[in-house]
Amino acid sequence: MDTTVLGFLASLMNIIFLDLILAGDNAIVIGLAARNLQPSTQKKAIIYGTAGAVVLRILATIVVLWLLNIPWLLLIGGILLVWIAYKLMTDDDAHTDVKAGQSLWAAVRTIIIADAAMGIDNVIAVAGAANHNLVLVIIGLLISVPIVVWGSTLFIKLISRFPWIIYLGSIVLGYTASNMMTEEKKLQPFFEHYPALRIVFILIVTTGILVAGFIKIRANKRNNMTASNI
């Protein structure tokens, strides 16, 4: 198979994986927003809300892809993605503050607004992994979002059973983030001149995320144990 095709498929799988890893919160929001509706209406709310969220997500990613062409924004995007990778490992918010819609369109509106507010991590990650390829963005979203909608419960259970999936997601995000930073036009000539340094930089960033995440997780466990003993 042509190396270009292999590269396209590898990037596509990367985008789908990142979408799925980062979509756990979005899946919870969808369930919370539609929980008070009748079963038949719930399906409509999920389908319409998700369709609106996908369109908004594609438009947002197009804007981000355009913005990443501006000097230094690729570096800033990479730094933001490092923070997102860290939060993925350590964040345990339940999003119980999401209001349930009392009607079909109220639920649809809630899903779209909540997804837009929470979806910035997905947008930055996908834009970074897409290498400025809009076709990759659209195909990745069209494949991954329906999986999240109809398989969200299964995927959340899968992550609960196999926590290493979250760590793998953080590693992929760390690689994507560090790779974005090395491709910053102002820094790219330097990394191209010293290719070994680029590899070392990617390893340091990815390892740093994992170490910081594990330290935070252990601190949280100690704090929870202390609180429970009081």
Query: For the segment 4-57, what is each residue's pLDDT rounded down to a tens digit?
Result: 778 788 888 888 877 777 766 566 666 666 666 777 777 777 778 778 877 887
Question: Residue ranges of the alpha helices (H) in the chain?
Answer: 3-22, 24-33, 39-67, 73-90, 104-118, 120-130, 134-161, 164-182, 188-193, 195-229
Q: Average pLDDT in the 100-127 region?
A: 72
Q: Between residues 83 and 16, which one has the greater pLDDT?
A: 83
Which two three-digit tokens encode residue 41? 């209406």
**Model pLDDT, residue 96:** 47
Q: Closest by alpha carbon to 127, among 185, 87, 88, 183?
A: 183
CA distance 137 to 133: 7
**Model pLDDT, residue 1:** 43
Domain extents for the chain?
Answer: 3-229
